[in-house]
Amino acid sequence: MPSVLTDLRPAPVRRPAARRPRGRRSSAFGRAGIGIAILFAILALYPLGAVVHRLLFSGGGFDLGPVQETLAEPGLGGLVVNTVLVVVASTAVALVIGTMLAWVNERTDARMGVLTDALPMVPFLLPPVAGAIGWVLLLSPRAGYVNSVLRDLLGTVGITMSDGPFDIYSWYGLILVYTIYQVPYAFMLASAGLRNLDPSLEEQSRVSGAGPLRTLRKVTMPGVKPSLAGAVLLMLWSGFGLFSIPAVIGTGADIDILSVRIVESLAEYPPRTGVAVGLSLIVVGFVALAWWGQRLVVGRGRHATVGGKGQRVSRIRLGRWRGPVRALMVLYLLVTTVLPLVALLIVSLTGFWTTKINWGALGFDALRRAIIQDSTTQEALLNSLGLGLLGATIGIGVAAVVALYVSKAGRLGRFLDGAIKFPSTLSHIVLAVGFVLALAGPPFELGGTLTILLLAYLALYLPQAAVAADAAVAQVGGELPEASRVGGAGEARTFRRIYLPLMLPGLITGWALLFVRMIGDLTASSILAGTGNPVVGFRILEIYQNGSYATLAALSTVLTVISCTVVLVVMVLSRRSARWSAPTTPTGAR
Amino acid sequence: MTLMAQDPATRPAAGDETPVVRITGLGKAFRRADGSVAKAIDDVSLDVRPGEFLVLLGPSGCGKTTLLRTIAGLERADTGSVALRGVEVFSAERGIDLPPERRRLSMIFQSYALWPHMTAFDNIAYPLRNARPRPDRATVEKRVQAALEMVGTPELARQYPNQMSGGQQQRIALARAIVGGDDLVLFDEPLSNVDAKVREQLRLELLALQRELGFAAVYVTHDQTEAMELAHRIAVMGDGRVRQLADPATVYRRPVSRYVANFVGTANELVGTVVRHGEGTTTLRTGLGEVTGVRAGLAVGDEAVAVFRPERTRLGADATSGNGNTWPAEVAAVLFLGAQTETVVKAGAHSFRLLGEHDVAEGEQTTVTVREADVLILPADG
Ligand SMILES: Nc1ncnc2c1ncn2[C@@H]1O[C@H](COP(=O)(O)OP(=O)(O)O)[C@@H](O)[C@H]1O
Ligand SMILES: [Mg+2]
């Protein structure tokens, strides 16, 4: 199956006169790029080969044992149905919410600058495990902060309850938290689609007598359909791969989810690798199905032509609706991002979890105890930061080179591009299993080292870097670098003076995304890290199993603060490096 | 190299100077998405002399851009060779393909291709800063300023491209092309994105600039007025081939084919068969009887077409000589165009266009005349 992520981009930015530079055969950059790409393609494919080998050739010869084992897994039907239900429901809800947020933000005057640009993306920064814990702290039936506040309120009107009214350990609780983690994907891709959609198409519709809503339905939505299809695919993929949310909430609600069962079967002694691999392949099947559906949507007809330079969007004036719409947006952002963060913060500063918040007891002692004085946690944190810095930098660099010089270089280039993006079609757990099988033992003996973690992170997150880099490359129209070549600059100089500065904002954002994903990684870390090479994800799981909510909250808070700081700094940097992209005339509505 | 000055009056001589560009047998095919092969350029050979303004004229899709890009080194041809200033920079046979940055030429793209992250100043300074040895700051500053003044926009130096109008962006692109003093500048429909008034203005300025600086220009356009105004010579292209290469007057008055006659200006046509040759004349039998025109290299019995221009076609009243081709006709339409009036007449099943002042009304019966010397006899195909 070709790569999933190659098809996730919204319709690529293509200027009418732009052509692809045809690769000059003897380009040193091109050759170096191919070399790097081959290395990373091996990194992605070799562990997968190990998994398939393990599945089919377990006892020396050809053996379908693992397949039979998987099919005999108790409760397999319920497992699959539950997983599909949760993932599909949350994807549908998230698509609606994310698209609405994007439309309001891109096309109406309710936008509030960076606030509404960036806040919908914040769940990306909150590691899912932290979010899940945060929501438990808020909505757990007895001690949840929100429930306790609501009970107090209801008590004043004479209704008394001993628990509830909400229960996080339920179908709706599980779907709610899944949804919150899916919305950023829908928001991100719908926004990109709207931004790339030539506004004159919509203006033409308005001029032709259609109102804003009819324009939205008849012109805008069909125009961004490929982006939305990409969003759905991305959400399904990430939904099937989510592990920490179902581990925390699903387990409490007695709802069995595939990803949890996969990790459990690996954690047992002896590990049931065959079953883990078999279950993973079911996940792969669903992703393939989603990918095929997306091709159907996108493949029909031509979509979203992209206009040339400096488009100015004339925003829809909401008039008296502007206030309420803004209030709703802010409310959504508060509830989904601020509330769980506050809950985490309170618990980590208090040192324990009680329903009644004792404001006087807040202090940094508990935090210090949990992070600084715990040498394992400290080591894990430092390891994660180091791996994040190194991995994100290597990852985005490789992705940029591949996007620029490899993916266009004929059949081999396309194959390498696809191979590097291939892991995106698989659950991260599968790949992590592959790394154990391929690299942990002889002859590489990388088990329990930071190197195996770095390699695994790179293979896992390179597809996301590639999406960011592809988008950044697409931003640089074909004639801009060509004009540089004609102007006497060689390939290296053109890269430095034209490609790099133009791509930089996109690459910086991609770097931040990678960094955050790598330091917050839980799935690969749960399998590849150990006491010899602890990382934050591993430590979080360890603490979770010991059941200390306060320590967990502390670690999650620190992780979130680091992620947010890095992303904030990076956003400022990327805005500064792209200061040329905004016209200085204040009327420019972008 | 500094900006070169040249006596504006001198036109490039056709002598044995080394041509700035010499294209020999160039060909390039594209494989389309459906697998079919499209010949974008097909066995093209031509020279561009120093200081010459050569226009590549042809309809959209005839391979003009591809030809220009192979000269620049942005596209790689399948066959043939390109020599710049007597040095081969591309040869399919000998495997030579110099990258664009080593061909010492400038190019103006249809989209202008101004780098959005650089100010006008930095955009223009870019080619200078790529030169080896690199000129010092003061020199760069001076020459960028000179280029900005030459295109008439010294106040734009600190602006970013997206803070400029289309016409201003065009000027900055022009300044960037001339700042290095290259003796060859390529233009790909540079004026197609600005409005008519600005286009006319820029055209005049460009012409003056080219004559003053004396660089050789290869200029792609599909607009025949633009081609006529700018060119020393026009290469009319069709289906990837050069159909005619000559000065504007020749291309207009003596087109070598029906295709060229129709693409360059309006042509009245009468299809027929060659019946005889006279003294310097050829006569066709057509739907309107016999038509005589300038002697053509065709054999008796060949299919041919008689072609004549609207401004050379007259109405009966002012027909000057007796030996013309004259047909009775009815005035079908009178179109007032401002400076001129176009009259459409119907003679039998044919309709002809006439330019000039004619005092007739729609529906009037009249006669149409065209002198033998104004009728070209061309092969019917192509
Ligand atoms: N990158 C390409 N891939 C496939 N076909 C192309 C490509 N570039 C140009 N062509 C084809 O080559 C022909 C000539 O194109 P072009 O040189 O752009 O024409 P012009 O500039 O005269 O409009 C056209 O038929 C066009 O479809
Ligand atoms: Mg063209």
Structure-block tokens of residue A521 = 């990684």
CA of B323 to nearest chain A CA: how many angstroms apart? 52
**Angstrom distance (rounded) from CA B91 to CA B104:** 17
- Each residue's pLDDT, cut to its tens digit, for chain B (382 residues) gives 344 444 434 455 555 678 999 999 999 998 877 778 889 999 999 999 999 999 999 999 999 999 999 999 888 899 999 999 999 999 999 988 888 888 889 999 888 888 888 889 999 999 888 887 888 999 999 999 999 999 989 999 998 888 888 889 989 999 999 998 889 999 999 888 788 888 888 899 999 999 999 999 999 999 999 999 999 999 999 999 999 999 999 999 999 999 999 999 889 999 999 999 988 889 999 888 889 998 888 888 899 999 999 999 888 755 555 566 888 899 999 988 888 889 999 988 899 999 887 788 888 888 898 988 899 999 988 6
Q: Do B116 and A580 touch (CB under 8 A)?
A: yes
Q: Identify which has the larger pLDDT, A385 or A70.
A: A385
Report whether A198 contacts A15 (CB < 8 A).
no
Q: How does the average pLDDT of chain A come out, rounded?
A: 77
pLDDT at A424: 65
pLDDT 10s digits, A486-519: 888 888 888 888 888 888 877 888 888 889 888 8
- Residue identifier of the C-alpha nearest atom 3 of ligand 1: B30
Q: What is the DSSP letter of B292?
A: E
Tokens coding B108: 């103006």
- Give A244-255 pLDDT, tens digit per residue: 888 888 888 888
Nearest-Cα distance to chain A for B350, in Å, is: 40
Residue A240's pLDDT is what?
84
Interface contact flag, A24 B180, Cβ < 8 Å? no
Quick check: B126 and A21 CB within 8 A? Answer: no
pLDDT higher for A231 or B1?
Answer: A231
- By residue count, chain A amounts to 590
- The pLDDT score that the predictor gives to residue B320 is 55
Q: What is the pLDDT of residue A372?
A: 73
CA distance B146 to chain A (A): 18
Q: What would the two tokens of residue A458 be?
A: 């790179």
> Which of A317 and B175 is assigned the larger pLDDT?
B175
Residue of the nearest CA to atom 27 in ligand 1? B61
What is the bridge-based pairing of β-strands B341-347 and B350-355? antiparallel
> Which range scores top for mean pLDDT: A67-76, A119-128, A436-445, B187-196?
B187-196
The pLDDT score that the predictor gives to residue A298 is 62
- Tell me the range of A17-21, A321-325, A351-355 where mean pLDDT is highest: A321-325
The set of residues, in sequence order, having a beta carbon less than 8 Å from that of A589 and lying 6+ positions away, is A312, A313, A314, A315
Proportion of chain A above pLDDT 70, given as a percent: 83
Q: Which residues of A touch B176 (CB under 8 A)?
A: 487
CA of B63 to the centre of ligand 1 (A): 6
Nearest CA in chain A to B173: A483
Pocket test for ligand 1, best of B66, B109, B186, B236 (most atoms within 8 A of CB): B66
Which tokens go with A542? 């360890």
Parse chain B into domains and list their residue ranges. Answer: 8-105+182-258, 269-379
Q: Which chain A residues have a beta carbon less than 8 Å from that of B114?
A: 483
Q: Is B163 on the interface with A (CB under 8 A)?
A: yes
Tokens read off for A486: 């004609």
Least trusted range by pLDDT, from A182-196, A347-361, B261-275, B327-341: A347-361
- Say how many Å lie between the CA of residue B141 and the centre of ligand 2: 34
Token pair of A195, please? 């931004």
Beta strands in A282-322 (DSSP E): none
Residues near A118 by Cβ (< 8 Å), separated by ≥ 6? A571
Q: Is the confidence at residue A462, as pLDDT, over 80? A: yes
* CB pair distance less than 8 Å for B163 and A498: no
- Measured in angstroms, how far is the CA atom of residue A365 from the centroid of ligand 2? 70
SS3 labels along A140-163: CCCCCHHHHHHHHHHHHCCCCCCC
Partners of B113 on chain A (C-beta within 8 Å) are 477, 479-480, 482-483
What local confidence, expressed as pLDDT, does residue A198 receive?
Answer: 67
Residue A299 or residue B244, greater confidence: B244
Look at B162 and A21 and tell me if their CB atoms are within 8 Å: no
The mean pLDDT of A158-173, rounded to a whole number, is 80
Residue in B97, B111, B116 nearest the CB of A17: B111
The reported pLDDT for the residue numbered A299 is: 54
Supply A431's token pair. Answer: 């790949």
Length of chain B: 382
Q: Which residue's CA is the closest to the ligand 1 atom numbered 12?
A: B40
**Separation between Cα atoms, residue A323 and residue A218, nearest integer Å:** 27
| Nearest bound ligand to the CA of residue B190 | 2
Residue with more model confidence, B339 or A66: B339
Nearest to A485 among B76, B100, B115 (CB): B100
Least confident of A266-280, A319-333, B279-293: A266-280
Confidence of residue A211 (pLDDT cuts 50, 70, 90): low
Contact A477/B113, CB-based, under 8 Å? yes
Contact B293, B314 (CB under 8 A): no
Judge contact between A343 and A137, C-beta under 8 A.
yes
Q: Which of A13, A476, A486 to mutate to test the interface with B (most CBs of B within 10 A)?
A: A486
Pocket, ligand 1, Cβ cutoff 6 A: A 19; B 30, 32, 38, 40, 58, 60-66
Residues on chain B touching A578 (C-beta within 8 angstroms): 117
Structure token pair of residue A445: 């003996």
B residues 62-101 near A, CB within 8 Å? 72-76, 97, 99-101
Set out the domains of chain A in order of their start, with CATH numbers.
Answer: 28-69+76-301+322-351+361-580 (1.10.3720.10)
In this complex, which of B72, B118, B160 lies closest to A486 when CB atoms are compared?
Answer: B72
Over residues A95-116, the mean pLDDT reads: 85
Q: How far is the CA of A479 from the centre of ligand 2 (A)?
A: 13
* Contacts of residue B371, Cβ cutoff 8 Å, sequence gap at least 6: B312, B320, B321, B323, B324, B325
Beta-carbon contacts of residue B36 (< 8 Å; ≥ 6 apart): none
Burial A101-132 (b: 16+ CB within 10 A, else e): bbbbbbbbebbeeeebeebbbbbbbbbbbbbb
Q: How sure is the predictor about A557, in pLDDT bands with cuts at 50, 70 and 90?
A: confident
Residue A401 has pLDDT above 50, yes or no: yes
Distance (Å) from the C-alpha of residue B76 to the closest C-alpha of chain A? 8
Contact A581 B109 (CB under 8 A): no
| Residue in chain A nearest B77 by alpha carbon | A22
Query: Cα(A470)–Cα(A9) distance, rounded to whole angstroms?
Result: 8
At A425, the pLDDT band (50, 70, 90 cuts) reads: low
Confidence at residue A481, expressed as pLDDT on a 0 to 100 scale: 86
Binding-face residues of B in 184-223 toward A, CB within 8 A: 186, 188
* Count of other CB atoms within 10 angstroms of residue A18: 20
Model pLDDT, residue A15: 36
Tell me which of A58 and A586 has the higher pLDDT.
A58
Question: Is the pLDDT at A10 greater than 60, yes or no?
Answer: no
Task: Give the per-residue pLDDT at A209.
Answer: 62
Of residues A16, A22, A493, nearest to B76 (C-beta): A22
pLDDT of residue A393 exceeding 90, the answer is: yes
Contact A18 B111 (CB under 8 A): yes
**A550 has pLDDT over 50:** yes
Q: Looking at CA atoms only, how far is residue B164 from chain A in angstroms? A: 9
Give the number of the atom of ligand 1 that is nearest the alpha carbon of residue B237: 22
Residue A583 C-alpha, separation from nearest chain B C-alpha, in angstroms: 6
CB contact under 8 A, A486 and B74: yes
Closest by CA position to B380, among listed B273, B294, B229: B273
- Ligand 1, closest atom to CA B68? 17
Distance B220 CA to ligand 2 centre (A): 8
Nearest CA in chain A to B95: A25
Beta carbons of A486 and B162 less than 8 Å apart: no
CA of B110 to the centre of ligand 2 (A): 8
What ipTM score was computed for the predicted complex, to two decimals? 0.76
Ligand 2 centre distance from Cα of residue B73 (Å): 16
A14 burial via Cβ count (<10 Å: 0-12, 13-18, 19+): middle
How much distance in Å is there from the Cα of B197 to the middle of ligand 1?
A: 29
Give which of A350, A354, A370, A336 is closest to A137, Cα–Cα: A354
A558 pLDDT more than 60: yes
pLDDT of A309 reads 37
Task: Dig out the tokens for B177 from the structure.
Answer: 């092309």
Task: Report the alpha-carbon distance of residue A287 to residue A241 in Å, rounded.
Answer: 10
Q: How are beta strands B184-188 and B106-108 bridged, if at all?
A: parallel
Residue A2: the pLDDT is 36
Give yes or no for residue A222 having a pLDDT over 90: no
The per-residue b/e assignment along A282-310, b for 16 or more CB within 10 angstroms, e otherwise, is bbeebbeebbeebeeebeeeebbebeeee
Residue among A17, A501, A584 whose CB faces B109 most closely: A17
- Cis peptide bond prior to A270, omega within 30° of 0: yes
* Positive or negative: CA dihedral A278, A282, A283, A288: positive
Helix, strand, coil % over all residues of chain B, rounded to 5: 25, 35, 40
- Options 2.60.40.10, 2.40.50.140, 3.60.10.10, 3.20.20.80; which CATH number does B269-379 get? 2.40.50.140
Count other Cβ atoms within 10 Å, centred on residue B33.
6
In the sheet with B313-315, reading across from the earlier edge strand, the strands are B313-315, B365-370, B325-336, B341-347, B350-355
Look-up of token digits 């003076």: A497
CATH number of B8-105+182-258: 3.40.50.300
- B375 Cα to chain A: minimum distance (Å): 41
Assess B127–A contact: CB distance below 8 Å, yes or no: yes
